[in-house]
Amino acid sequence: MFEGRPDRDSEIVFVGRSNVGKSTLMRAFTGHDFTTGQKPGVTRSPNHYDWAGQDFVFTDLPGFGFMEGVDEDARETIKTDIVRYIEDHSEEIRAGVLVVDGKAAVDIIDRHESRGEIPHDVEMFGFLREVGIPTVVAVNKMDKVDDRDERLDALCDRLGLPGPWQQWRDTIAPISAKRDQLDPLREALAEHLREQNRDDLLGFVV
């Protein structure tokens, strides 16, 4: 069970498969150098980043799904801990950012569905919304994607959002964390904070 969460009233959580660029994204938002690695599953417990005197925290939750060298029981435990953490803190979580790999997400989802499995990304997207957390899908590594609109439309389709993707700008945010191209995500998060009358938190996301 995850422990050590700072006592903060407002939080934005980042979730996603291993190796989709969550830690790089967190570094871009916070300026803090989180441990990252080429090997999936480097982050096993939450990384919290908070500010002294501010009632706010960013949380990078561990990656879920396949992790090299990690057995299935351990992977399931991590996923269970992520779900429990989100449920326990849903009242404080102002937004959830589901990070996916823009180049691979649709293929991974289709591969799982073809085996009769519920894809992790689809499951996490539905879960965040089910517990009432405003959710933004940060579609990362879009600098490597040629058929941009087609890919984003296909992702919307897999997530149960009728296309075209452009009508979901508060939910679908095409970004490139490595290139610091994060404006669509910053704007989506700012919109959700404004809807909650939390303009006091805008400085953390824009």
Tens of pLDDT, residues 100-122 = 999 999 999 999 999 999 899 99
pTM of the model: 0.92
Peptide bond into 134 cis (omega under 30): no
Phi, psi of 176 (to 5 degrees): -135, 100
Q: What is the CATH number of domain 10-198?
A: 3.40.50.300
Tens of pLDDT, residues 137-147 = 999 999 999 99
Tens of pLDDT, residues 53-71 = 899 999 999 888 765 566 7
CA neighbor of 189 nearest in space, from 175, 202, 176: 202
Q: Domain map of the chain by residue range?
A: 10-198
Q: What is the mean pLDDT of residues 154-160?
A: 97
- What pLDDT score does 70 carry? 65
- Contact criterion met (CB below 8 Å) for 79 and 177: no
- What pLDDT score does 76 carry? 82
